[in-house]
Amino acid sequence: MKRRLGVLLATMVTGLVLAVVASASAQPVTQTTVIKHFTETFTTDPASGDDFLACGGEPYTITVNAKIVSHVTAAGIDENGDLIPPWHTNALLLGQFVAVPADGTGPTYAGHFKEGLEHWNMNKKNETFTNHFLVIAKGSDGSRLHQNLLFRYSFNANGEMNFVGRSRDCAF
């Protein structure tokens, strides 16, 4: 689910950022966009690493009802259409889901999720990118699911990279 939603969100956010960047401006730029509710249904493929239950190994058919909020702030836009530092982009995917085992066995999960993708800050000396993914759900058998993933990298003025990655998957 993380990979599928991440790709969907990244595609939508890239389009939103490009829409903001489309017109050159030396003036500060601020734009907030809300894409109201959308629904998507897909089946996970654990063999490809797309595993709803990171330790479950079973395919799930997942129906998502979500919305996206995107925000861009920049000092301006240069003649090439690039954001002028300092700039900040932020996108958040919020929603609810129902996950049904594709083979009909095992618990059905219902819950909510939050994915913060494109939390990206850039100034003339530093760059930081953060993604946070959180899923909380309850199974039809009474079990609870809590998945939490944080990914962050940053570059300092010397080009040195600092990476933080933490996950807590399949906490019941």
Beta pairing class for 109-122 and 60-77: unpaired
**C-alpha dist (Å) from residue 150 to 86, 134, 167:** 24, 9, 6
Decide if pLDDT at 171 tops 70: no
Domain boundaries, the chain: 2-171
Q: 58-99, pLDDT tens digit by residue?
A: 888 999 999 988 888 899 888 888 888 888 888 888 999 999
pLDDT at position 1: 54
Instruction: State the pLDDT confidence band at 56, using cuts at 50, 70 and 90.
Output: low
Q: Which residue type is seen at 143?
A: S
Question: In this structure, what token pair is assigned to residue 148?
Answer: 């939490």
Q: Which one-letter DSSP state was computed for residue 15?
A: H
What gap in Å lies between CA 43 and CA 52, rounded to an integer?
9
Among the listed residues 67, 73, 94, 78, the one whose alpha carbon sits nearest the alpha carbon of residue 17:
73
The two structure tokens encoding residue 33: 């966009």
Residue spans of beta strands (DSSP E) within 78-160: 83-101, 109-122, 127-139, 144-155
**Type and span of the H or E element at 2:** helix 2-21
Q: Report pLDDT digits (tens) over 100-158.
A: 988 888 889 999 999 876 677 878 778 888 888 888 999 999 998 888 888 888 888 78
Give me the pLDDT at residue 121, please.
80
Top-confidence residue, 88 or 23: 88
Rounded Cα distance, 115 and 111, in Å: 14
